[in-house]
Structure 1
């Protein structure tokens, strides 16, 4: 089992020392949150809090995803970075391909590109992208990013993107895994059909088993159940060795763990030293037992 350390909406100066500490403690990856704007008004609900409240996001710091990964990559040597998740549908996929391939190349392939739609119509309005047919737009964007980051000439002719033969350089030595986030039927089907993995967004822990079962069924329908596939999950079971074993038996490959409740209003007042202490304690009590 691999473990991903999650810390977001905190003092931006903490990210680099936390990445170094997580690498030293034996975590396999660090998740990187993605957020573009905070609209003053929105009727949308956040999908992973019980009441849909979004106000905890106000005034929280989000360093641009690829900038932060590059900075953390420069001070580490082994740990991987997993955007959780990049709002792909609101971004030009050719630009994302360039950013992702550059970061993956400079870090020696330490990027697994988590992608999702995002719940906020305001992100789409602010970037001039229609909210309608966003799922199909993202399907095409995944294909464009995958094609361009593999090297060689690539062309694409779809409903939203039309690319004549082109290529990028440099590209990483190995393909960048694309991990699809989301709990809807469409998101699970997208992960099964187009993804190299799936990212669970949290929410009600009781729903995870049903999501895993549906994902397995969809992968079988797509004839994809025999190819490598990552499953990144959030679960209370991640915090004990026995719970980790049960999750591994269900097909989970990566567990995302954090040590404070992020959905709270106001600034994060926990000091850096306390955060490092918590991640190290978990590594000693769980990671070392699971992965001796």
Structure 2
């Protein structure tokens, strides 16, 4: 079993101590969730809760995920650094390509770009981005990222991006793994066609297993069944050996945990660090041995 840690909504200085502790404990990847702004009012359309309320409030701290991961790269040596997920169509592909090529170099190959199309129409409106075309724009951005990261002079003519020959620079080494989030039909196809992995939402085990099965079918349709692919599946509900064994028995062996969601509003850094320790203690029979400090990460993407 491998275990990842998802973080969101913390004051910026809180991420590094948690990432350092997660690395010490043997977590495989730390994922930062992304929003750029929080509109004062937005419709309850969050797709992973029946209420449609994600729990995000104007008071929820937001941090730039790429800048924060760059900081974490300087504070850690082994743990992988990912976005779960970056709202790609709120950006342009050139700045994303440059930032993540730099992060890959500065982190010694530990960057994992997780992307999604977003769900909050009001956030898109605030940034002047078209919400209705976000899926098509994301698909084209993924093609542009591949071009820019190819290491060759490239040109592109598309629906949303059109540029004559540009020189981006050397290809990132190793290549930046691309993980796609979401559970819609379009998201699953995007993961199967473009991704080296899928970042699952907070849904029950049966739903996660069904979605992973559908991705496998789509990858076979696209002729990609033989390519390496990782399902980063959210551990839903309690964090216990029994719960993890149920996921393992379903063939899901790379789980993402979010241990802070049930902590009180007055939570401190010490409380969060204790919660991380508690995860490793509760799952000790299934917990991987932590890699020695300085050991380069394996190919887990």
- Could you tell me the TM-score, scaled by structure 2's length? 0.88
Alignment partner, residue 269 of structure 2:
272
Provide the rounded CA distance (Å) in 2 between the counterparts of 1:160 and 1:253. Answer: 38
Alignment partner, residue 108 of structure 1:
108
CA 288–62 in structure 1, closer or farther in 2 if over 3 Å, else same: farther
CA positional deviation for 1:31: 0.8
When the two structures are aligned, how many residues end up with a matched partner? 289
CA positional deviation for 1:260: 2.6
Alignment partner, residue 196 of structure 1:
196
Alignment partner, residue 88 of structure 1:
88
More helix by share: 1
CA 103–33 in structure 1, closer or farther in 2 if over 3 Å, else same: same
The unaligned stretches of length 5 or more in structure 1 are none
Cα pair 1:153 1:166 within 8 Å, conserved: yes
Provide the rounded CA distance (Å) in 1 between the counterparts of 2:257 and 2:66. Answer: 21
CA positional deviation for 1:242: 5.3
CA positional deviation for 1:63: 0.7
Runs of 4+ residues deviating >6 angstroms: none
**Partner SS state of residue 112, structure 1:** strand
Provide the rounded CA distance (Å) in 1 between the counterparts of 2:151 and 2:18. Answer: 33
C-alpha RMSD of matched pairs (Å):
2.3
CA positional deviation for 1:286: 2.1
Provide the rounded CA distance (Å) in 1 between the counterparts of 2:193 and 2:284. Answer: 32
Provide the rounded CA distance (Å) in 1 between the counterparts of 2:146 and 2:157. Answer: 14
Provide the rounded CA distance (Å) in 2 between the counterparts of 1:289 and 1:108. Answer: 28
- Could you tell me the TM-score, scaled by structure 1's length? 0.90
- 244-253 or 225-234: which moved more? 244-253
The unaligned stretches of length 5 or more in structure 2 are 290-301
Provide the rounded CA distance (Å) in 2 between the counterparts of 1:156 and 1:287. Answer: 50
Q: Deviations over 1:98-134 (max 9, x none)?
A: 1111111111111110000110112222222222222
Alignment partner, residue 167 of structure 2:
167
CA positional deviation for 1:227: 0.6
